[in-house]
């Protein structure tokens, strides 16, 4: 016999003996357990509340929108506003616990902030706020103004990129 097959036979015998020893130990092998796991640290009961922002900093978010490329407010859209509130657009809603504001742009392009229960010049009272809408009421009528959703521009007319056919070697 040559040397390589002899070495392989010896390795196989050693591996078989190791497997037989592990099978006969029936779980008596100590894998280095250190005992029971330590208890996890206690989590705080509630997350700490955020400090309220001054009104001047909240107004900056209205004047310089974060997701506008040039940080200027979206252009006002016409036509999709409820009757009685023509020209009033909802730019944002702030809901922070009990503090709730609607950030509005009026007909004369004046920006204003209304708390729940405050009234516009025409007598419309802000009665309800959600994340994307504000509901106003006057003399038993209710109107809702939604935040306009800006749309992405139309897809470019450039042809789709076509990769060349490449044969594999």
Question: Domain coordinates of the chain in residue numbers?
Answer: 77-146
- Residue 70: its pLDDT value, please? 63
Whole-angstrom distance, CA of residue 106 vs CA of residue 109: 5
Instruction: Give the full edge-to-edge strand order of the sheet including 111-115.
Output: 89-96, 99-105, 111-115
- Residue 15: its pLDDT value, please? 95
Contact 134, 102 (CB under 8 A): yes
The low-confidence residues of the chain, meaning pLDDT below 70, are 1, 26-34, 62, 64-84, 151-160
pLDDT tens track for 94-123 = 988 888 899 998 888 888 899 988 988 888
Whole-angstrom distance, CA of residue 60 vs CA of residue 75: 17
- Residue 11: its pLDDT value, please? 94
- Residue 135: its pLDDT value, please? 93
- Residue 102: its pLDDT value, please? 92
- Residue 155: its pLDDT value, please? 63
Tokens found for residue 155: 């897809």
Annotation: CATH topology of 77-146: SH3 type barrels. (2.30.30)
pTM of the shown model: 0.43
């Amino acid at each position: 016999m040559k040397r390589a097959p002899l070495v392989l036979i010896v390795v196989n015998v050693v591996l078989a003996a190791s497997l037989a020893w592990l099978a006969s130990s029936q779980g008596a092998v100590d894998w280095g357990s250190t005992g029971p796991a330590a208890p996890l640290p206690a989590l705080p009961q509630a997350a700490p509340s955020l400090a309220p922002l001054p009104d001047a900093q909240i107004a900056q978010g209205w004047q310089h929108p974060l997701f506008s490329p040039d940080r200027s407010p979206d252009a006002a859209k016409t036509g999709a506003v409820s009757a009685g509130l023509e020209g009033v657009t909802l730019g944002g809603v702030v809901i922070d616990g009990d503090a709730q504001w609607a950030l509005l742009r009026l007909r004369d392009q004046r920006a204003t902030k209304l708390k729940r229960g405050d009234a516009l010049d025409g007598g419309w009272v802000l009665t309800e706020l959600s994340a994307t809408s504000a509901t106003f009421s006057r003399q038993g009528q209710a109107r809702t103004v939604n935040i306009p959703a800006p749309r992405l521009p139309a897809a470019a007319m450039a042809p789709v990129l076509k990769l060349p056919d490449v044969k594999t070697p």
